[in-house]
Amino acid sequence: MGLRSFIIPAVDIKDGKAVRLFKGDPNAVTVYGDSPVEMAKQWEEKGAKHLHIVDLDGAFEGKPRNYRIVEQIVKAVSIPVEFGGGLRSFEAVRTMIDIGVERVVIGSLAYQNPEEFRRIVEEFPGRVVVGIDAKDGRVAIKGWLEKTEFTPLEFAQKYDDMDIWGFLYTDVNRDGALVGPNLEGTKILAEHLKHPVIASGGVGSVEDVKKLYGLRDYGVYGVVVGKALYEGKIKLEELED
């Protein structure tokens, strides 16, 4: 796997547009395109091997709001799509799986309703990614608005024995800020967990990607990149496949 395959481009959807937030703040929005579908196709054309789609409206409202757009993305690209944002019920997850989403990212539900979460994992083995959104060293839920008492590792270890796909670790304080990823936090998780870890938040350069790429032997599978791609700080098509 080269650097290009290691990067998972993010397409964040809000009010029907492709956007990025700054540090998870719903009021700090940059719009990068009117068509999330066209944005997804662009990343595939540039060599992406998978996509990370987030329904920001769903994350804040508690249920997916941009279902039709996600369905259009899945139909428009031939690479696997990972989806998160407002998946807080079995039915919501089943809907996304039914439209062709490869993996679902679940964070808040895992914390708030472990029984429902276990039911989802049993029904869709190997297709659930546990979303770990960290804020000031604690796991945050409900669109990053509420902090729990758990550290990222404590939270992850509750699910590591289940038949999940793996974990998505986001340092919310770095997300969209281009200040560099939380290498230490990512490494700690990957070292201590059996399942793979996808990193997210803070990547601002190819050097940042290379540092995370160097953690593959610990179990880091890839990195979700948004703003650095949209602002041309990383050019996917110029990287080794």
- 161 has catalytic annotation: no
Terminal-residue alpha carbon distance, the chain? 7
Whether 69 contacts 37, CB under 8 Å: yes
The model carries a pTM of: 0.94
Catalytic, 34? Answer no
Number of neighbours of residue 34 by Cβ within 10 angstroms: 10
All structural domains of the chain with their residue ranges: 3-238
Give the 3-state secondary structure of 24-57.
Answer: CEEEEEEEEECCHHHHHHHHHHCCCCCEEEEEHH
| Nearest in space to 71 (alpha carbons), one of 13, 142, 125, 6 | 13
Q: What is the pLDDT of residue 48?
A: 98
User: What's the pLDDT score for residue 26?
Assistant: 73
Which pLDDT score, from 0 to 100, does residue 23 have?
A: 66
The top-level CATH class assigned to 3-238 is alpha beta
Which residue in 133, 171, 175, 208 is the catalytic one? 133
DSSP string, 177-238: T-S---HHHHHHHHHH-SS-EEEES---SHHHHHHHHTTGGGTEEEEEE-HHHHTTSS-GGG
Residue with tokens 């770990």: 132
pLDDT tens for each residue of the chain, 241 residues long? 899 999 999 999 999 998 877 766 777 788 888 999 999 999 999 999 999 999 999 888 888 899 999 999 999 999 999 999 999 999 999 999 999 999 999 998 999 999 999 999 999 999 999 999 998 899 988 766 788 899 999 999 999 999 999 999 999 888 777 789 999 999 999 999 999 999 999 999 999 999 999 999 999 999 999 999 999 999 999 998 8
